[in-house]
């Protein structure tokens, strides 16, 4: 049974011979009712404070849970971003290696081509040198033949002039 301050104030006792002083009892009951009423107000205020704190605590727990979920989600996103960055870095490295291999391959092919061109040019130079030497040799022979021919012609001219100048 719940007792209220009003119950205490309205409480009446039976009077007996040589019983309690009614004024003292009434005064005590009034003080008790007043004290009980204060305690009841304090109790209600404390209950309200407890309810408010419980609601606040629930709100804080919800926020804490939300923050925890956000932190976990952020961690997952960061790990995912890190994995993606690592994969992207690997792809970039692989592409760079492929490009480097292509460049080396093209450079090697170009080098081979240049070496073939150089060898061909050397062969052509030797051939031209041989051809020029042959032309020079031919011209030298022609010059020699021409000198010999001129010398013979000169000798023949001298004989003719000797014959022309001799008395008949």
- Answer yes or no: is pLDDT of 1 > 60: no
Identify the pLDDT of residue 163. 67
Give the total number of structural domains in the chain. Answer: 1
How many whole angstroms separate alpha carbon 84 and alpha carbon 82?
5
Strands (E), the chain: none
Report yes or no on 168 lying in a domain. no
Mean pLDDT, residues 23-52: 89
- Mean pLDDT along residues 16-32: 79
**End-to-end alpha-carbon separation of the chain, Å?**
193
In a domain, 107, yes or no: yes
Most confident among 9-23, 92-106, 140-154 (mean pLDDT) = 92-106
Domain range for 133: 5-163
Coil, strand, or helix at residue 153?
Answer: helix
Model confidence pLDDT, tens digit, residues 68-110: 999 999 999 999 999 999 999 999 999 999 999 999 999 999 9
């Amino acid at each position: 049974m719940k007792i209220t301050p009003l119950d205490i104030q309205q409480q009446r006792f039976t009077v007996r011979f040589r019983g309690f002083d009614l004024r003292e009892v009434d005064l005590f009951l009034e003080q008790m009712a007043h004290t009980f009423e204060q305690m009841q107000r304090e109790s209600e205020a404390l209950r309200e404070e407890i309810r408010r704190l419980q609601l606040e605590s629930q709100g804080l727990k919800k926020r804490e849970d939300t923050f925890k979920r956000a932190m976990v989600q952020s961690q997952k996103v960061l790990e995912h971003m890190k994995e993606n960055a690592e994969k992207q870095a690997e792809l970039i490295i692989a592409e760079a290696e492929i490009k480097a291999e292509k460049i080396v391959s093209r450079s090697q092919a170009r080098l081979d081509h240049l070496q073939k061109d150089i060898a061909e040019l050397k062969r052509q130079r030797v051939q031209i040198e041989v051809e020029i030497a042959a032309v020079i040799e031919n011209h030298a022979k022609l010059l020699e033949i021409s000198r010999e021919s001129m010398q013979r012609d000169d000798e023949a001219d001298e004989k003719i002039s000797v014959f022309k100048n001799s008395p008949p």
